[in-house]
Structure 1
Amino acid sequence: MTDALATKPADARTLGGLAAAAGMTECTVARLFLKETGLTFGQWRRQLRLLAALERLGAGESVSNVALDVGYEDVSSFIAIFKSALSDTPARYFR
């Protein structure tokens, strides 16, 4: 599951959908995520998307393209999460 999401961070499947695809229950996967990573699935996915975004932004890609490509519905949501996690907007972070 984690490999598939790392390959495609924009995959919008819910934890339940991912668990079903893996032949597991949502509760089991939720427990395993917390046990193995120390993070909830939502926290882990947010970190994954931010790391993928940081790599691409660092390579000079536009904030708009990166935000949508890593799975955010809109640029404003991405900027809010980015600023919450890194205390700056993407544009100022890479100055």
Structure 2
Amino acid sequence: RAPEEPLHLVLPSDRRLLRIAHAVLEHPDDVRTLEEWADWAGLSPRTVTRLFRYETGSSFAQWRQQARLARALERLASGEAVASVADALGYASVSAFVAMFRRSFGLSPGRYFDTQAVIA
């Protein structure tokens, strides 16, 4: 049985939320708060929270983390260094990025790709 990997990223259909989603995907290192994103899109934080959960099934924070994980896997798979990926995704430190990666996949980035190479 293959391990379940939490990478399905549903995009919202509301044009205002989609604007936020595209900005996050284009600039995953942007560390604006939910309130700042809401203001940028002309919405209240409560509306962003409610609509994001309704349209994607995830909170905004969960969705943003999934978007960052997807970018991280792309970059790491292409051979980019963990430190470079962590910086590009806006993490304060490499250890913070590795901790998030380990929480999500159960392994550090290096071990994850070692395991994937053995499976393939």
TM-score band by shorter chain is: over 0.9
List, as ranges, runs of 4+ consecutive aligned residues in structure 1 with deviation greater than 2 Å.
none
Instruction: Determine the C-alpha separation between the residues in 2 that align with 1:40 and 1:23.
Output: 18
Tell me the TM-score normalised to structure 1 length: 0.97
Could you tell me which amino acid in structure 1 is paired with residue 49 of structure 2? A
Residue 55 of structure 2 corresponds to residue 36 of structure 1: yes
**Where in structure 1 are there 5+ consecutive unaligned residues?**
none
**Where in structure 2 are there 5+ consecutive unaligned residues?**
1-19, 115-120
Contact 1:67–1:74 under 8 Å retained in 2: yes
Deviation at 1:71, TM superposition (A): 1.3
Contact 1:49–1:71 under 8 Å retained in 2: no
Instruction: Determine the C-alpha separation between the residues in 1 that align with 2:37 and 2:48.
Output: 9
Instruction: Determine the C-alpha separation between the residues in 2 that align with 1:22 and 1:42.
Output: 16
Instruction: Determine the C-alpha separation between the residues in 1 that align with 2:60 and 2:92.
Output: 19
- Indicate which of 36, 55, 65 corresponds to 1:46: 65
Describe the SS at the equivalent of 1:94.
Answer: helix
CA RMSD of aligned residues (A): 0.6
Could you tell me which amino acid in structure 2 is paired with residue 51 of structure 1? A
Residue 105 of structure 2 corresponds to residue 89 of structure 1: no
How many equivalent residue pairs?
95
Could you tell me which amino acid in structure 1 is paired with residue 47 of structure 2? T
Report the identity percentage. Answer: 47
Larger Rg: 2
- Indicate which of 81, 93, 114 corresponds to 1:62: 81
Describe the SS at the equivalent of 2:79.
Answer: coil
Instruction: Determine the C-alpha separation between the residues in 1 that align with 2:92 and 2:99.
Output: 12
